[in-house]
């Protein structure tokens, strides 16, 4: 079950956050921004300190992919353009890469092809909301 | 092989490829489709460009309508040339059916979902499309909720109605319904002369 979903742009700004289950603590908008910035930093650091850094591109470290705690698991999916899709699920939830990749596709369709969306800015699109909710419910 | 020869060969290859797409005759109905994604980007950019050059929502809709009209005039000529079974309509109802079926099929590969007459006014007709494919990704922000991106379609319809000698004032309205957030109604209000002519034709029958 996906509790919440965040989208972070390539400079570490939060551009989308949505709570789907109501079971996780609500972050204030300020806290959510701090979370996004911190995660962005940790992600960058993790891929920098990795011993696999010198390897070929295919084996190169892709930064943080999960964060596990007792109560939740954080999944991160990074797109080739540096966007991050982060999902909060129950602990030890199986891989979510395909669901997050679908969320990326929705972003490409309903944010990028929407004339009222400006790049790197928060996503405010009813259609994106609806489609994402459908995706989360179906997964 | 000399350099010139290889260039020649390259050239024929290019022109053969463009034969397949760009140099196709306009006469035969094209069955190959245009990529919706590419069009969506283009259309989004048209809206964004227009938005920077207008004062308000009505202005924006008028601008999109103007662009649509340019498309409509060309689509009309093309269809008249291409479709062997249709001829130029002059009656209101036939014009509407022509738009509803032939034009919609040429543009969107399907018929419009409904064609109706307004219950309040005799000179008003409605064409309904439950999910206009060109608007699929567009979602206006709350402060622009009255904006109807279908203004472009309204422009297309207006130009075609005019070409059919049935000038009308055409507006588009977003009527979100259950599961159909982009349901668009295109309202045609025919000019008074058209309705008078229609009455005369009806009487002279």
Q: Which of B46, B51, B181 sits opposite A127 (nearest CB)?
A: B181
Residues B180 and A81: their CA atoms lie apart, in Å, by: 32
Residues B43 and B62: their CA atoms lie apart, in Å, by: 15
Buried b or exposed e, range A15-31, using 16+ CB within 10 angstroms: bbbeebeeeeeebeeee
- Half-sphere exposure (CA, 13 Å, Cβ side) for A93? 22
Per the prediction, chain B carries an average pLDDT of: 86
pLDDT at B163 over 80: yes
According to the model, what pLDDT value does residue B21 have? 62
The architecture (CATH level 2) of B34-203 comes to: 2-Layer Sandwich (3.30)
pLDDT at B68 over 60: yes
Bridge-based pairing state of the strands A66-68 and B168-174: unpaired
pLDDT at B10 over 70: no
> What is the number of domains present in chain A?
1
Q: Which of A106, A113, A128, A131 best tests the B interface by mutation, with the highest count of B CBs <10 A?
A: A113
Host H or E run for residue B151: helix B151-163
The pTM (predicted TM-score) of the whole model is 0.82
Bridge-based pairing state of the strands A84-89 and A73-78: antiparallel
User: How many CB pairs below 8 Å do chains A and B form together?
Assistant: 40
For residue A122, the chain B residues in CB contact (below 8 A) are none
According to the model, what pLDDT value does residue B143 have? 85
Residue B57 Cα, gap to closest chain A Cα (Å): 13
Widest Cα–Cα separation across chain B: 78
Please judge whether B138 and A124 are an interchain contact, meaning their C-beta atoms are less than 8 angstroms apart. no
Q: Which of A4-8, A134-138, B31-35, B95-99 is the least confident region?
A: B31-35
Which residue in B has a C-alpha nearest to residue A109's C-alpha? B137
- The secondary structure of residue A107, as a DSSP letter, is I
According to the model, what pLDDT value does residue A58 have? 57
**Interval B106-160: pLDDT, tens:** 888 889 999 999 888 889 999 999 999 999 999 888 888 889 999 999 999 999 9
pLDDT at B43 over 80: yes
Q: Which of A106-120, B2-16, B40-54 is the least confident region?
A: B2-16
According to the model, what pLDDT value does residue B89 have? 79
Per-domain boundaries in chain B: 34-203
pLDDT at B70 over 60: yes
Q: Which two tokens stand for residue B9?
A: 């060969």
Classify B81 as helix, strand or coil.
helix
According to the model, what pLDDT value does residue A27 have? 86
Task: Please state the rounded mean pLDDT for residues B173-181.
Answer: 88
According to the model, what pLDDT value does residue B86 have? 77
Per DSSP, helices labelled H in chain A are 29-49, 97-106, 126-138
Please judge whether B139 and A113 are an interchain contact, meaning their C-beta atoms are less than 8 angstroms apart. no
Host H or E run for residue B189: strand B184-190
Residue A39 is part of which domain span? 2-138
**pLDDT level of residue B90 (50, 70, 90 thresholds):** confident
- Contact assessment for residue B160 and residue B76, using Cβ atoms and an 8 Å cutoff: yes
Q: Which two tokens stand for residue B31?
A: 């069955």
Residues of chain A under the 70 pLDDT cut: 52-61
CATH number at residue A115: 3.30.450.70
Q: Which of B137, B145, B174, B176 best tests the A interface by mutation, with the highest count of A CBs <10 A?
A: B137
Residue B179 Cα, gap to closest chain A Cα (Å): 10
- Residue A132 CB neighbour total at 10 angstroms: 23
Distances (CA, A) of B121 to A89, B113, B158, B172, B175: 56, 21, 18, 17, 19
According to the model, what pLDDT value does residue A1 have? 83
According to the model, what pLDDT value does residue B9 have? 58
- Contact assessment for residue A86 and residue A73, using Cβ atoms and an 8 Å cutoff: no
């Amino acid at each position: 079950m996906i509790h919440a979903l965040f989208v972070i742009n390539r400079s570490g700004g939060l551009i989308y956050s949505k709570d789907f289950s109501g079971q996780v603590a609500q972050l204030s908008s300020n806290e959510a921004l701090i979370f996004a910035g911190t995660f962005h930093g940790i992600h960058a650091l993790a891929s920098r300190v990795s011993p696999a850094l010198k390897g070929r591109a295919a084996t190169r470290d892709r930064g943080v992919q999960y964060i596990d705690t007792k109560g939740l698991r954080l999944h991160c999916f990074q797109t080739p353009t540096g966007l991050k899709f982060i999902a909060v699920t129950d602990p030890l939830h199986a891989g979510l890469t395909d669901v997050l990749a679908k969320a990326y596709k929705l972003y490409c369709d309903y944010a990028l092809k929407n004339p009222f969306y400006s790049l790197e800015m928060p996503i405010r699109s009813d259609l994106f909301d609806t489609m994402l909710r459908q995706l989360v419910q179906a997964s | 092989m000399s350099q010139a020869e290889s260039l020649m060969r390259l050239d024929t290859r290019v022109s053969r490829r463009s034969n397949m797409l760009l140099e196709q005759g306009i006469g035969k109905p094209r069955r190959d489709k245009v990529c919706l994604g590419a069009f969506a980007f283009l259309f989004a950019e048209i809206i964004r460009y227009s938005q920077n050059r207008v004062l308000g929502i009505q202005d924006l809709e008028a601008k999109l309508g103007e662009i649509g009209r340019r498309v409509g005039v060309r689509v009309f000529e093309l269809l008249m040339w291409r479709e062997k079974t249709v001829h130029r309509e002059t009656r209101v109802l036939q014009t509407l059916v022509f738009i509803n079926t032939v034009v919609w099929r040429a543009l969107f590969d399907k018929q419009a979902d409904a064609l109706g007459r307004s219950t309040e006014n005799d000179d008003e007709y409605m064409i309904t499309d439950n999910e206009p494919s060109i608007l699929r990704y567009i979602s206006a922000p709350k402060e622009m909720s009255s904006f109807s991106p279908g203004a472009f379609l309204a422009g297309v319809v207006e130009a075609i109605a005019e070409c059919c000698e049935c000038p009308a004032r055409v507006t588009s309205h977003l009527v979100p319904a259950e599961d159909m957030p982009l349901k668009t109604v295109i309202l045609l209000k025919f000019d008074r002369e058209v309705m008078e002519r229609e009455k005369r034709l009806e009487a002279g029958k």
